[in-house]
Each structure stands twice: as C-alpha cells, then as structure tokens.
Amino acid sequence: MPYEIPILIIPLAGGYLFLSKSIFLSHRYKSLSSQEILFDATIYGIFFLFGAYLLRQTAYYYWESLFNYADTVLRKFFFPHYAIFLGTALISFVIAFFFTYPVNLIFKHTWLNYHRFIISIRKYGDELERFLLDASLNQKIISISLSDNKVYIGFAITVSAPQKTNYVEILPLASGYRETESKILWITTPYESVIDAITNEDTLPLDKFKIVMNQDKIQSASFFDPEVYNKFQEDMKKKPPKKNKTDAQQGL
C-alpha cells in the first residue's frame, strides 16, 4: 500500500509533461482549468502506461531472462510487491519524455509545425487572431479602427500564436479616420511609397513601413474592398467636416 501512490504518480507526471511541453498541445494547455489539466494529464498518462505495457510485454518475449533478473533485483532491494508495475511506470515516463522533447525538436523544423500553428490559432485563438490569420493566408486587405477613431488599411504581416502577444503588425496602404457620430470612413493619407514597393520591388523593407498597434486599442477590424469604398464615396457626395479632418490628421 505505501508504494501504490508514488508509483501511480509516475505515469501521471509523464502525461502532464506531454500536455504542458509538447508543441502540439501547448496552446490547449494554456486554455484549460486546473481540473481539466489534471483530467487530460491522467488520460495521457494512461495512454503512455498502456504503451509501456505493450512495449514491456514485447521486450519480455525476446529477453525473458533479462527481465526476470531485473524483476528479482527490484523485488529484493527496492519494491518487493510492485517491481513489475514500477518498471512499466518508469517506461511510460520515458515514452512521454521521448514524445515531448525529441519530437518537438524534429517537428519544429518541418512543414507540420506550420500546420500546427494554423490549427492552434483556429482552435484556441480569439476572434481577432483568427481574423488576422484568415487575412494573412488569403492576402486580403484589412481595415483596423482604433478607439481614437484612427483607421489603418493594409496587410497583416505577422500572425502570432494564441495569447503570445498583445500587439498587431500591419503593412499600411492608407490611413484615415472615422467621424465620431456617423462612423463614416475617410481616407486622408495614402502610402504611395509602400504601394510602389509592393508592385515594383522584389523585396520590401517591412520594418520601415510597418505599424504596430496594441490590441486593447482596436475597436473593430474588417476586410477592406477599395471598389466598395470608392462606390460608397460616390454615393455619399459630400466632403468630411474640416474640423474633424484636421483633428484626426494630427495623429496620423
């Protein structure tokens, strides 16, 4: 009885190691409560324990004499009643370790890591992170409105892992503002140099043009269609109030 609990902790520790450190489950781990972490770690621990049992039985078939000797030593000097289960539990932890660190190193440098990144955002990312991923994958122009009514239009150039950063980086094509009451969008500053770089240059100095903004200041984000915007402007048939325009331009 006094050895049962410590031995059972070994596969549980292996399950927790895999859950918390594996690149495939790291984002899921961050989204779980303490009770859910314990449950998932137990499930993975049982999985590794079953794998260890199959591995031990297979090895025992080929090296029976070696296993009998190891069993005798463990029973005589360490755990007289739980020698076989102790060996299986230790093997389960070794399997969990192998499926965590060595596998992480292998998959970090393969195309599977890219797909894992996309899946993690779609499954565990918030609405803004999923929106930026969609915009980046499909190369769509986006419009981001800030709490001070400033608006930036451009391409999402970086998409971070879920909950990794609180900042958004975009390559701006234009900027403007929204009227305070009507929320009508007016573009005041086209970034012609960026547009020329996109169309005429093979490489683009992103650090020179990119804009970094805090997610806490983002009021809304949407896809931007220049044709729809131009059509809307034609239908409006009016100019923005000079006072609002001047105030907004001061911060652009």
Q: Is the pTM of this model over 0.85?
A: no
User: Are 94 and 145 within one domain?
Assistant: no
- pLDDT tens-digit map of 82-139: 556 777 888 899 999 998 988 888 777 766 677 777 888 888 888 888 899 899 888 8
Asked if residues 145 and 223 have their Cβ atoms less than 8 Å apart, the reply is: no
Query: Is pLDDT at 243 greater than 90 in this prediction?
Result: no
Query: Is pLDDT at 157 greater than 50 in this prediction?
Result: yes
Query: Is pLDDT at 81 greater than 60 in this prediction?
Result: no
In a domain? residue 34: yes
The average pLDDT across 22-41 equals 85
User: Are 229 and 130 within one domain?
Assistant: yes
User: Are 175 and 67 within one domain?
Assistant: no
In a domain? residue 137: yes
Asked if residues 51 and 92 have their Cβ atoms less than 8 Å apart, the reply is: yes
The average pLDDT across 52-73 equals 77
Query: Is pLDDT at 246 greater than 50 in this prediction?
Result: no
- pLDDT tens-digit map of 200-238: 655 556 667 788 889 889 999 999 988 888 888 777 655
pLDDT confidence of 199, banded at 50, 70, 90?
low
**Residue 68 or residue 205, greater confidence:** 68
**Rounded distance between C-alpha atoms, residue 107 and residue 101, angstroms:** 10
**Rounded distance between C-alpha atoms, residue 249 and residue 174, angstroms:** 12
User: Are 164 and 95 within one domain?
Assistant: no
Asked if residues 132 and 159 have their Cβ atoms less than 8 Å apart, the reply is: yes
Number of independent structural domains in the chain: 2
pLDDT at 194: 60
Percentage of the chain exceeding pLDDT 70 = 76
Largest separation between any pair of C-alpha atoms in the chain: 94
Most confident segment among 45-59, 63-77, 184-198, 234-248: 45-59
Q: Identify the domain boundary among 107, 140, 158.
A: 107
In a domain? residue 119: no
User: Are 184 and 231 within one domain?
Assistant: yes
**Rounded distance between C-alpha atoms, residue 103 and residue 118, angstroms:** 19
